[in-house]
Structure 1
Amino acid sequence: MTDQTSQVGKAVFVGNIKGGVGKSTIAVYLTDYLRQRFAERSIMMIDTDPQGSAFEMLEPHSNGSDIKFLPVGDRYDGVNVTTLDGILRRMLAEDNSLTIVDTGAGKMGDIWQMAMLCNTMIVPTSMSWTDLRPTIDFIKEIDERKADFGRITPHVIVIPNRTSPSQRNFNVLSEALQEVNAIMAPPISDLSAARSRSASFGGIKAVEGSRFHTEIERLGEFIVDYVVSGELDRIYQQ
């Protein structure tokens, strides 16, 4: 019998109030990997970062129906948030769909309003306390908002980023995450490795044979196992 939890639409929010932690790069490569992995599924990328870097990278590898640019920030009114709400509700109602929402750094109000529309949140961070401290504070705020609304979603997944390729000890991050309601995903060692392959984004195939490709593949399968399958939903419902 097919598990109905794995069939329902999923929405993944990639965010962190801290800038420069690799949100857009992770979002576009993860989207492209999952499109290759699930050719039969409807997989959409929505870029809400006013800089539009994720849209710029992925748009040449997409068709008009599976990528959107809806900037949300101080210079934009609520129209794009309302449009985003409508798109996500439609996608979530579509079996086997997956929507990835990339965001920029910004005020908690803008980020929270969008995050509440999704059932999973990916939070990249380096192991440096310069990034880790505001990241943990950000997740604490997410936990508080969920508690205020009596919600268990969005489930939070933290991705260690810019780690040493030889690093095996993640105790600093593990201990920090004990303060919040989040799980840790497999690490990404060097996002610049992808950019060094080409001056322009070439998708997941362009980085085949690299450590970065292996790490994105491992991260993608983690998302498949815990998000696409509905496993996180089942864990938290218990």
Structure 2
Amino acid sequence: MIPGQAPKSTARPRTVIFGNSKGGVGKSTLALLMALGLATRHRDASVKLIDLDPQATSSNSLQRFCDQRFSVVQGSSLRCDDGSPNNEKILKHINTERLNNFKRRFVVLDGAAGHQPDNSAFLHHCDIMLIPTSVSDADIYATRSYISGLHALFSIRGNRQRAAGPALVILPNLVDSRDEFNELRHALSKERAYLGKPLYYSPAFRRAFREQRNDENIRIIFNQTQPYTLWLTSLVTQSHRLDKKPEKLFQL
């Protein structure tokens, strides 16, 4: 070992994915908040954002923040020819974080719309899965179907070497009122998952990914959502305390 260099660890990075087969539910916005929140809150940690969305919304917005401990990965190599996730390449990017010299390591994945659980084996290697949804009937239906597919994926016991599935947390996103949140909670009451805190709608979200010479839009949304982002990042750092298989919907 080179004198003065910290010994390299083989510990797996704490890994979180924002996923839902439905588009337009806020995966990229929340992945952006999570990545920036972890990087600003944990100054001794590395943060890698892996953007699986072909639109590359979150990664394009965060490229300017890249430095020695904050990195962004995107590109067609993360997808197979049929558009499904390239599990091997994704796992390779996650596992390379084992070799860096930071005391803590985080990987944030921004899932693509259309990705189905049955072709996403890399999900077994995530610590927690955050599933954004709105209160629209279409989003609720898609979320139910997606969670059902996740339970089917994680119930497969054919490979004893396979890691246990992550905890599933539904994130009510861009909610207008407490009544809407209660409506969503009732609609998802039969799901075996956690129900997270709601993120209430703000006009700033519409401008979050507008192209600008500076980072003003991102700074505004990040500042406005500080309490929520603090809760969101704590959810990841404390994910080991969550039961991976709650028997019913449990509100956090």
TM-score normalised according to structure 2 size: 0.75
More helix by percentage: 1
2:66 matched to 1:62?
Answer: yes
- Larger Cα-atom Rg: 2
Q: State the shift of 1:109 in Å.
A: 5.1
Matched residues in 1 for 2:140 and 2:132: separation?
10
Q: How does 1:91-106 map to 2 (within 5 A)?
A: 91=97, 96-106=104-114
2:113 matched to 1:87?
Answer: no
Superposed CA offset, 1:120-140 (max 9, x none) = 111111011111111111011
Percentage of matched positions with identical amino acids: 22
2:41 matched to 1:37?
Answer: yes
Name the residue aligned to 2:234. Answer: 225
Matched residues in 2 for 1:181 and 1:93: separation?
35
Name the residue aligned to 1:53. Answer: 57
Name the residue aligned to 2:189. Answer: 178
2:229 matched to 1:206?
Answer: no
Q: State the shift of 1:35 in Å.
A: 0.9
Q: Give the root-mean-square deviation of aligned CA atoms.
A: 3.2
Q: How does 1:108-187 map to 2 (within 5 A)?
A: 108=116, 112-149=120-157, 152-164=164-176, 166-167=177-178, 170-187=181-198
Matched residues in 2 for 1:163 and 1:196: separation?
17
Tell me, yes or no, if the aligned pair for 1:112 and 1:142 is still in contact at 8 Å: no
> Gapped runs of 5+ residues in structure 1?
1-6
Equivalent residues, number:
226
Tell me, yes or no, if the aligned pair for 1:27 and 1:102 is still in contact at 8 Å: yes
Q: State the shift of 1:11 in Å.
A: 0.4
Matched residues in 2 for 1:147 and 1:34: separation?
31
> Gapped runs of 5+ residues in structure 2?
1-10, 247-252
Q: State the shift of 1:61 in Å.
A: 1.4
* Cα pair distance change 1:203/1:156, threshold 3 Å: farther
Q: State the shift of 1:118 in Å.
A: 1.1
Bigger CA drift: 190-199 or 100-109? Answer: 190-199
Bigger CA drift: 68-77 or 137-146? Answer: 68-77
Superposed CA offset, 1:186-225 (max 9, x none) = 22222641343783372786216xxx744x3233222333
